[in-house]
Amino acid sequence: MSTESTLLARCDSKCELCSSTSDLAPFVVAPHTYITVDHATILCGTCRAQVESPESMDVNHWRCLNDSMWSQVPQVQVLAWRQLTNLSRQGETWANELLDMMYIEEETKNWAEIGMDEDEEKARDINGVVLQKGDDVTVTKDLPVKGSSTIIKQGTVVRNISLDADPRLISGKANGQSMYLIAEYCRKK
């Protein structure tokens, strides 16, 4: 079974936000870039266009979030939370009330918050969790060390990290050696 047919079966061939049955297509929820069952939803053309261009948002169309925000699918919750947050920032009190009622797991909320702070980029781990100075992280895949034949093995713990001016990089000590690591190849402990 293909990814798209699995997604369509999950949502009963309806938009996962507004339940429309026309112009359906998979939509990858940022920051992910590949269509997978765990990172994509099925959206209609109307929802897709307004999610991609929030400035063209039709406020009344998004009243459908009253139902879809209760979805058990994390990526649907992420999109619902983001849209409600945008509407709330525009002064829509009903959206703010729905946000107050919405239940969302912490990991899913961290995913939803990615991209909402447009003013400042932050170092984030493989799950989108914001990393802070002093955190401990675990390397999630084997990483070659530039200029050396050394490899930092998957599962290596890097303690007491420091942040770099480039939000993609963190620094710390692994195996007694100081080095820079790409934050997205690590998981916060």
**Residue 115's CB: how many other CB atoms inside 10 A?**
13
Distance CA 128, CA 34 (A): 15
Tokens for 179, please give them: 């080095």
Q: Which residue has the higher pLDDT, 64 or 179?
A: 64
The CATH classification number of 137-188 equals 2.30.30.40
Residues 111-151 pLDDT 10s: 988 856 554 567 888 887 888 888 999 999 988 877 778 88
Q: What is the mean pLDDT of residues 22-43?
A: 91
Q: Which residue has the higher pLDDT, 1 or 76?
A: 76
Q: What is the mean pLDDT of residues 17-37?
A: 91
The single-letter code of the amino acid at 140 is T
Residues 42-63 pLDDT 10s: 999 999 999 988 777 899 999 9
pLDDT at residue 117, as a whole number: 56
pLDDT at residue 119, as a whole number: 45
In the chain, where the domains are located = 3-115, 137-188
Distance CA 77, CA 61 (A): 17
Residue 85 makes CB contacts below 8 A (sequence gap 6+) with 95, 99, 112, 116
Distance CA 141, CA 164 (A): 21
Question: DSSP states of 136-177 as a string?
Answer: -EEE-S-EEPTTSS-EEPTT-EEEEEEE-SSTTEEEEEETTE
pTM above 0.85, yes or no: no
Q: For residue 178, with 0-12 CB atoms within 10 Å meaning exposed, 13-18 middle and 19 or more buried, which class applies?
A: exposed
